[in-house]
């Protein structure tokens, strides 16, 4: 990213938002008439795509662009013949330079005060809103999201920034005066930043998660070194442009694969880590952090093996739509995706009929097309994982839908939404997070038994229930071991959290802190508490 490229990005942000006046896309308004929106995208998508592709992929460090490291061509998962451009692999010196730039900028950013930081980040939100169509198209191209999924992600990112800014403002930067102590002492309590945060984002939400973690760190007074997923060669550059007017070194971008992320996270100059990704990697980062002279904060959301429960009293149409949307949206590549559904035996066949009908109506297609419900999985490795899972599952369960790649789509890894019933409780497909469009169905006679079976998982991110019996919903709420719960949502059984409306907190192996993103307790985790006590002046206290 050249300096003039960043300046051009800032200038474009001042233009009129092309989506102004059109319905806003969220994860819960799928029934809205988006025909005008689709017509606009039909008209602008080709030109925006051409502009995005092939631009230089550079690091952004200390307010300037660098082109160090090996270069790799990156293809779109939509079509392996669609080349998006090159990415860089940051070398050790580049990682060192990014951390040093962030550390040098820390004192000035910390001392700017929370009001200045809130104002700066609200400007970032405004810029993102003006460029939301462009950023959404980048996400479509680089990770294969459908139009509405991509636009929903950008809208979520905008609301994340604004919600976190509001929280800092409401709490006045978490600077509190406490009660007077003995002898007239005054007490003050403050939350203060740690220093330099490494922010490492995954491929499935390359904008919302990157911006959510980065902005929370920045609002807390920290500086950031951001390492996007290796697939984010388009959105990573656009994100850096949003932050280009912050003081040099406050926000830095490193490109590269998991090795670069590992080097960044373990760098001794990094004071904290924000990570979203697999349970295995997150736990490794936590253990590595504990080996230092003192513990660093590791704020991580680590995936899920999420369940929904359909009881005998459920509205089956709502349940079928909610289950299908959460299981097969983005081809199952969400940490909140539904992968297990437990169905009351008495309504099992009726529910399966409805679920199969809904699943058959979901179009797996090029996500650039308006009618596509979901696109490809991210790469050939994911497709291979799907084939292996089906080889394991087919002999021991009943494949009711899907079960194979879509042979008519050889240019990308397009997979059929798959429903498989009656696997053994300890089967790998029933137990392990797959990140694939695979849903396992089990029957139950007693809801508590199904909840117990779900709770046997080491993961506990999201869960949902369909029931008109408040006693059943109360039992679910009280006994399920997960951090994000939904009841009777046709828009999604386990997916669709939104800033300020739901928090996103993983229990057990799905999270490390017990407090989640999107909510009121997130930004504070990027800060540490400091107590300040002042003795009363001599004239106002008794001397011995």
Closest among 202, 209, 235 to 1, alpha carbons compared: 235
Rg of the chain, C-alpha, whole Å: 24
Q: Which two tokens stand for residue 89?
A: 């692999």
Q: Residue 7: is its pLDDT beyond 50? A: no
pLDDT in tens, 207-252: 999 999 999 999 999 999 999 999 888 999 999 999 999 999 999 9
- Total domains in the chain come to 2
Domain match, 291 and 343 both: no
Q: Which two tokens stand for residue 158?
A: 């905008």
Residue 24: inside a domain: no
Residue the block writes with tokens 């087919």: 394
Burial (0-12, 13-18, 19+ Cβ within 10 Å), 391: exposed
Print the domain residue range for 462. Answer: 306-498
Residue 123's pLDDT is 97
The CATH number given to whatever domain includes residue 425 is: 3.40.309.10
Mean of pLDDT values over 364-378: 95
Q: Residue 319: is its pLDDT beyond 80? A: yes
CA atoms within 13 Å, Cβ hemisphere of 475: 17
Residue 2's pLDDT is 42
Residue 47: inside a domain: yes
**Chain mean position to CA 382:** 19
Q: How far apart are CA 149 and CA 151, in angstroms?
A: 6
Mean of pLDDT values over 364-388: 95
Distances (CA, A) of 282 to 201, 497, 512: 12, 22, 9
The CATH number given to whatever domain includes residue 179 is: 3.40.605.10
Residue 17: inside a domain: no
Closest among 167, 132, 149, 471 to 336, alpha carbons compared: 149
Domain match, 111 and 181 both: yes
Q: How far apart are CA 268 and CA 391, in angstroms?
A: 44
Q: Which two tokens stand for residue 379?
A: 């790469």
Residue 12's pLDDT is 43
Q: Residue 409: is its pLDDT beyond 80? A: no
Domain match, 455 and 518 both: no
Domain match, 283 and 256 both: yes
Q: Residue 11: is its pLDDT beyond 60? A: no
Report angle CA 26, 203, 281 to the nearest 5 degrees.
125
Residue 408's pLDDT is 64
Residue 126: inside a domain: yes
Residue 26's pLDDT is 93
Cβ neighbours, 10 Å, residue 410: 11
**Chain mean position to CA 178:** 36
Confidence of residue 181 (pLDDT cuts 50, 70, 90): confident
23 within 8 A of 37, measured Cβ to Cβ: yes
Residue 465: inside a domain: yes
Domain match, 113 and 187 both: yes
- Please tell me the least confidently modeled range out of 89-93, 152-156, 324-328, 407-411: 407-411
Residue 541: inside a domain: no
Domain match, 47 and 193 both: yes
- Between 376 and 535, the more confident residue is 376
Burial (0-12, 13-18, 19+ Cβ within 10 Å), 408: exposed
Mean of pLDDT values over 60-79: 93
Q: In 3-state terms, what secondary structure has residue 83?
A: strand
Alpha-helical runs (H) found in 198-257: 208-219, 235-242
Domain match, 224 and 281 both: yes
Cβ neighbours, 10 Å, residue 116: 11
Q: Residue 54: is its pLDDT beyond 70? A: yes
pTM of the model: 0.94
Cα first-last separation, the chain: 67
pLDDT in tens, 150-169: 999 999 999 999 999 999 99
60 within 8 A of 51, measured Cβ to Cβ: no
Residue 278: inside a domain: yes
Q: How far apart are CA 273 and CA 381, in angstroms?
A: 27
Closest among 511, 508, 506, 451 to 484, alpha carbons compared: 506
248 within 8 A of 62, measured Cβ to Cβ: yes
pLDDT, averaged across the chain: 93
pLDDT in tens, 478-533: 999 999 999 999 999 999 999 998 999 999 999 999 999 999 999 999 999 999 98
Domain match, 224 and 368 both: no
Q: Residue 86: is its pLDDT beyond 90? A: no
CA atoms within 13 Å, Cβ hemisphere of 66: 23
Q: Residue 439: is its pLDDT beyond 70? A: yes
Residue 284: inside a domain: yes
Q: Residue 8: is its pLDDT beyond 70? A: no
Mean of pLDDT values over 370-397: 95
Alpha-helical runs (H) found in 363-491: 380-393, 428-431, 447-455, 470-479
Percent of the chain with pLDDT over 90: 86
Domain match, 74 and 156 both: yes
Nearest-10 crossing angle of helices 3-13, 114-130: 80
Domain match, 334 and 226 both: no
Domain match, 221 and 344 both: no
Domain match, 205 and 135 both: yes
**Chain mean position to CA 536:** 48
Residue 544's pLDDT is 52
């Amino acid at each position: 990213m050249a300096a003039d490229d960043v300046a051009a990005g800032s200038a474009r942000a001042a233009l009129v938002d092309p989506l102004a006046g059109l319905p806003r896309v969220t994860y819960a308004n799928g029934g809205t008439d988006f025909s005008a929106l689709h017509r606009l995208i039909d008209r602008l998508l080709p030109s925006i795509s051409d502009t995005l592709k092939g631009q230089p992929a550079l690091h952004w460090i200390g307010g300037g662009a660098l082109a160090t490291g090996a270069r790799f061509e990156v293809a779109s998962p939509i079509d392996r013949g669609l080349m998006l451009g090159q990415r860089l692999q940051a070398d050790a010196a580049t990682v060192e330079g990014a951390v040093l730039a962030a550390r040098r900028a820390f004192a000035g950013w910390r001392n700017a005060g929370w009001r200045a930081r809130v104002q700066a980040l609200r400007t970032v939100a405004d810029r993102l809103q003006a460029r939301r169509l462009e950023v959404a198209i980048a996400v479509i191209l680089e990770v294969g999201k459908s139009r509405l999924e991509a636009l929903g992600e950008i809208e979520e990112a905008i609301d994340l920034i604004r919600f976190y800014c509001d929280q800092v403002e409401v709490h006045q930067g978490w600077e509190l005066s406490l009660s007077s102590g003995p002898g007239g002492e005054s007490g003050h309590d403050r939350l203060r930043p740690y220093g330099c945060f490494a922010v490492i984002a995954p491929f499935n939400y390359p904008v919302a998660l990157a911006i959510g973690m980065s902005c929370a760190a920045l609002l807390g007074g920290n500086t950031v070194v951001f390492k996007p997923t290796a697939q984010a060669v388009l959105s990573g550059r656009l994100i850096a442009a949003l932050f280009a007017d912050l003081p040099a070194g406050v926000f830095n971008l490193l490109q590269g694969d998991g090795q670069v992320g590992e080097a960044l996270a373990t760098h001794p100059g990094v004071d904290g880590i924000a990570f979203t990704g697999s349970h295995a990697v997150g736990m490794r980062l936590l253990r590595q952090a504990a080996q230092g002279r003192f513990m660093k904060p590791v704020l991580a959301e680590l995936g899920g093996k999420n369940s929904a429960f359909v009881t005998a009293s459920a509205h089956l149409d709502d349940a079928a739509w909610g289950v299908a949307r959460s299981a097969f949206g983005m081809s199952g590549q969400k940490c909140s995706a539904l992968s297990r559904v437990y169905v009351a035996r008495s309504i099992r066949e009726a529910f399966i009929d409805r679920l199969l009908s809904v699943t058959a109506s979901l179009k797996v297609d090029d996500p650039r097309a308006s009618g596509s419900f979901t696109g490809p999985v991210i790469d050939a490795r994911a497709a291979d994982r799907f084939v292996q899972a089906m080889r394991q599952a087919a002999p021991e369960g009943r494949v009711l839908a899907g079960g194979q790649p879509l042979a008519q789509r050889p240019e990308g890894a397009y997979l059929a939404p798959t429903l498989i019933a009656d696997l053994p409780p300890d089967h790998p497909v029933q137990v392990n997070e797959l990140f694939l469009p695979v849903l396992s169905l089990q029957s139950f006679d007693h809801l508590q038994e199904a909840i117990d079976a779900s709770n046997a998982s080491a993961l506990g991110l999201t869960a949902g229930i369909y029931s008109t019996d408040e006693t059943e919903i109360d039992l679910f709420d009280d006994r399920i071991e997960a951090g994000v719960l939904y009841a009777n949502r046709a828009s999604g059984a386990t997916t669709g959290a939104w800033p300020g409306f739901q928090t996103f907190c993983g229990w057990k192996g799905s999270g490390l802190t017990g407090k989640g993103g999107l909510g009121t307790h997130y930004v504070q985790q990027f800060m540490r508490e400091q107590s300040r006590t002042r003795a009363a002046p001599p004239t106002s206290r008794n001397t011995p």
